[in-house]
Amino acid sequence: MARIVFALDHEEGHCFPTFKLARQLEQRGHTVTYLGLPDTGALVRRQGFSFVPILERFFPEGTVEQRKRAPQEKAAPSTAGNGKLGELEDRYLGALARGEGLDGPVAEIQPDLFVLSWFVGGLAGLILHLRFALPIVFLTPYFRPENRRQQVDQLEGAVLELRWATPPLFELIRRKAPAARRLREVTGSLLSMPELIQCPRELELPREGADEPNVHYIEASVDLSRRPDQGFPWNRLEPGRKLLYVSLGSQSFLAGKKAVEEFLGAVAQGAGRHPQWQLVLSTGGQVDPAELPLPAGAIACPWVPQISILERAALMVTHGGLGTIKECIFHDVPMVVFPIGRDQPDNAKRVVHHGIGLSGDLKEATPESIFEMINAVDREPSFRDNVARMGRRFREVEGSGIGVQLIEAVLRG
């Protein structure tokens, strides 16, 4: 059996979809170890996995949280097409290219294969491939707006713009690929590395060139065992009222505290005028629940056990992260989406295109406009029918085991 390393970025929404796949690999007899920045350790260890922190000298614990409190940071060009590489990612890639805080853990684990997210991972995968000459599988927890060849083009442009990563990366290329005369001779190897998109194809928007070599749509990887209680007051749920679940996810910091506070306040005000809904609201850690004008019976917490709440919810108001959309579909819950950034506007288009919800503008939202959409989705049976149909397909693909099969095929060469 193989030793498999999941090399993660620091986004919670990119970590959660990996856990079910990792458990399936362990059940098949493989050894799974996670590598990541120290801030990711607690999240991974709570799921029962071995976690080895890397680059601790450069990114001590608390670095990611500090970054979230300063979202105005100037960002470098993106290699993902739907996000920006900021200073933290730039420094991260530079440290990887030098091997500082990385070579030791890899030598100790002796992996047979790396699995890593494409977000930041295009360059990270190139670096790991150059340093260790091991197979790479990209695990993509979102839909890409461009094809892989376009991504490689963007990656090459980003390489020239990065401040800390570019010099050590070119030095690594000089040592490991001395015959290369053009950057494309090195970056082109990324096109041969398999990519697993963690969502059934049925949620994708129609586009030309959707079928790409070495790109596979796999399970949504919704981890139903991810049920942290976090002290949620279950006894306060009222069975006679429809449950409205509201969360802007772990990336709400991208909108800024003021915008999030105003939006959640508008939701709370609107819920007070529509008593048929019992509001369950996750503030995402940015906003103090005590500062919101909560109506009678409403429950607000910094974080909410999402899987368990979706099993009871009639509708969700969400920022449109793909992980949350997949979990709503899996539980047949229609949505109203208020995207903030990154891939979320495109995900909102998918929700509308497939008739599983509506989309609004977070900055323009008022108590009236929010609940006009909520009630429109609730009253129109087609939304619930469409999400139930999509949910059946998701659950069917979930049992296929295709993700594990593809990874094992790479291990077999």
Q: At a CB cut-off of 8 Å and minimum separation 6, what does 182 contact?
A: none
Q: What is the CATH number of the domain that holds 264?
A: 3.40.50.2000
Distance from C-alpha of 186 to C-alpha of 142, rounded to nearest angstrom: 25
Question: Does some domain include residue 338?
Answer: yes
DSSP string covering 152-198, please?
HHHHHHHHHH-SSSHHHHHHHHHHH-TT--STHHHHGGGGGS-EEES
DSSP string covering 72-91, please?
T---BPPSSSSS-B-HHHHH
pLDDT at site 91: 85
Give the least confident one: 8-12, 188-192, 263-267, 358-362.
Answer: 8-12
205/137 same-domain check: yes
pLDDT at site 69: 64
Question: Does some domain include residue 154?
Answer: yes
pLDDT at site 161: 82
- Residue type for position 268: A
CB 324 within 8 A of CB 282: no
From the list 311, 312, 302, 328, the residue with the least C-alpha distance to 241 is: 312
Q: How confident is the model at residue 235 (pLDDT cuts 50, 70, 90)?
A: very high
* DSSP 3-state of 400: coil
Question: Does some domain include residue 391?
Answer: no
pLDDT at site 87: 78
Mean pLDDT to the nearest integer, 29-48:
92
What is the overall mean pLDDT for the chain?
A: 89
pLDDT at 320 over 90: yes
**CA-angle at 37, arms to 126 and 109, nearest 5°:** 65
Cα 272 to Cα 34, 49, 243, 293, distances in angstroms: 44, 43, 14, 9
Question: Does some domain include residue 129?
Answer: yes
Give the least confident one: 69-83, 300-314, 328-342.
Answer: 69-83
Question: Does some domain include residue 186?
Answer: yes
Distance from C-alpha of 108 to C-alpha of 103, rounded to nearest angstrom: 9
300/186 same-domain check: no
The most confident of the ranges 53-57, 121-125, 164-168, 269-273 is 269-273
197/328 same-domain check: no
247/283 same-domain check: yes
pLDDT at 237 over 70: yes
Question: Does some domain include residue 316?
Answer: yes
pLDDT at site 63: 79
Residue given tokens 């019992």 in the structure block: 278
83/167 same-domain check: yes
Question: % helix / strand / coil in the chain, to the nearest 5?
Answer: 45, 15, 40
Domain range spanning residue 111? 3-223+399-411
Question: Does some domain include residue 389?
Answer: no
pLDDT per position as a tens digit, 74-130: 333 333 343 456 777 788 889 889 998 889 999 999 999 999 986 567 889 999 999
- For residue 149 the two structure tokens come to 């060849």
Q: At a CB cut-off of 8 Å and minimum separation 6, what does 89 contact?
A: 9, 76, 120
Residue given tokens 């990119």 in the structure block: 14
What is the tally of structural domains in the chain?
A: 2
Q: Over pLDDT 70: what percentage of the chain?
A: 92
Distance from C-alpha of 162 to C-alpha of 178, rounded to nearest angstrom: 22
32/115 same-domain check: yes
Cα 202 to Cα 5, 24, 199, 321, 339, distances in angstroms: 29, 23, 8, 17, 21
pLDDT at site 11: 73
Q: Over pLDDT 90: what percentage of the chain?
A: 67
pLDDT at 322 over 50: yes
Distance from C-alpha of 81 to C-alpha of 314, rounded to nearest angstrom: 33
pLDDT at 303 over 70: yes
pLDDT at site 64: 75
Distance from C-alpha of 287 to C-alpha of 257, rounded to nearest angstrom: 7
Q: 301 — phi, psi (to 5°)? A: -140, 155
Beta bridge partners of 318: 247, 337
Give the least confident one: 47-56, 63-72, 290-299.
Answer: 63-72
38/182 same-domain check: yes
Q: How confident is the model at residue 209 (pLDDT cuts 50, 70, 90)?
A: low
166/44 same-domain check: yes
204/250 same-domain check: no
- For residue 315 the two structure tokens come to 């509708």
Q: Are strands 50-53 and 31-36 parallel, antiparallel or unpaired?
A: parallel
373/406 same-domain check: no
61/151 same-domain check: yes
Q: Are strands 277-282 and 242-247 parallel, antiparallel or unpaired?
A: parallel
**CA-angle at 315, arms to 276 and 347, nearest 5°:** 150
pLDDT at site 230: 62
364/404 same-domain check: no
Question: Does some domain include residue 385?
Answer: no
Distance from C-alpha of 122 to C-alpha of 80, rounded to nearest angstrom: 8
pLDDT at site 31: 98
pTM over 0.85: yes
Distance from C-alpha of 226 to C-alpha of 46, rounded to nearest angstrom: 9
